[in-house]
Amino acid sequence: MGRNVFFENAYFIIGTSYAGKSTMVKELAKKHGGVACEENYHDNYPGELDAEEFPCLTYTRDLEDWHDFIRRSPQEYKDWIDGVKKECETIELRMLPEICSQSKKVFVDTNISIETLKEIAPSDHVLVMLSDPEIPLKRFFDRPDPEKQFLYKLIMEEPDPAKAMDNYRKGLELICSKESYDELERSGFHVIHRDEERTIEQTLAMAEKAFGLI
């Protein structure tokens, strides 16, 4: 399934980490009786992924020593993340037609690129949510989720944990670059910037307005 599909009942949220995308997808679906395609919903893709078609997504599946994951150079880490996003887009475009075939609004925390979204969705069905690029760098390991704590444990097990941590953070810096931030901000879609003083309800109202739901 490719870009010839046009999703009229789907509402996509893209942006940076720690911007509130996952929360908004859940809140919007709850309020509007819709379907929430939350972060990494592509993990529910049926069947086993082929390593030749999806080399980045199967990298961790086929990894023999997880320490190799954190020992990659910053550029290798960045290239892998970029590859994962492209492969996730392929899977999402295969999954969404069936999800959107229901007579409900579908709210998607997506990896689909700006360019593709401009082809497959109405312009007012895409929302960009942004947080300060420094936030992921400062708070990446603060989150209690198992994946990040597992990575932290791996880094601490390295012969030189400080060097390993510095290497990993440099990869994060490449991913959370000013260039990536600017590309999202200038995408042409409605943008909501993270504001610690704003409540979830207030942000929800902003998202609804952006999507024309109120």
State pLDDT tens for residues 47-77. Answer: 889 999 999 999 998 899 999 999 999 999 9
Could you write out the three-class secondary structure of 139-203?
HCCCCCCHHHHHHHHHHHCCCCHHHHHHHHHHHHHHHCCHHHHHHHHCCCCEEEECCCCCCHHHH
* Percentage with pLDDT > 90 across the chain: 81
| pTM for the whole structure | 0.91
Q: 214 falls in which pLDDT band (50, 70, 90)?
A: confident
Sheet arrangement for strand 190-193 = 35-37, 106-109, 10-15, 126-130, 190-193
Percent of the chain with pLDDT over 70: 98
- For residue 193, what pLDDT is reported? 96
Q: What's the rounded mean pLDDT across residues 122-148? A: 85
Domain 10-210: give its CATH code: 3.40.50
Question: What are the structural domain ranges in the chain?
Answer: 10-210
Q: State yes or no: pLDDT of 1 exceeds 60.
A: no
Q: Residue 183: name the closest of 115, 88, 107 by CA.
A: 115
pLDDT for 131 beyond 70: yes
Residues 42, 112 contacting (CB under 8 angstroms): no
Mean pLDDT computed over 187-208: 96
Q: Give the model's pLDDT for residue 138.
A: 78
Task: Measure the CA–CA gap between 193 and 196, rounded to whole angstroms.
Answer: 10
| Averaged pLDDT, 24-41 | 96
Q: Return the residue matching tokens 């994962």.
A: 84
User: What pLDDT shows up at residue 3?
Assistant: 52
Give the residue from 26, 58, 34, 27 showing the smallest Cα distance to 45: 58
Task: Dump pLDDT digits (tens) for 66-115.
Answer: 999 999 999 999 999 999 999 999 999 999 999 999 889 999 999 999 99
Neighbours of 136 (CB within 10 A): 18
pLDDT at 4 over 70: no
Q: What is the mean pLDDT of the chain?
A: 92
User: Picking from 9-18, 144-153, 173-182, which range would have the lowest pLDDT averaged per residue?
Assistant: 144-153
Render pLDDT for 17-31 as a digit per residue (tens, 0 to 9).
889 999 999 999 999
Identify which of 43-47, 146-150, 184-188 has the greatest average pLDDT. 184-188
Q: What is the reported pLDDT for 2? A: 45
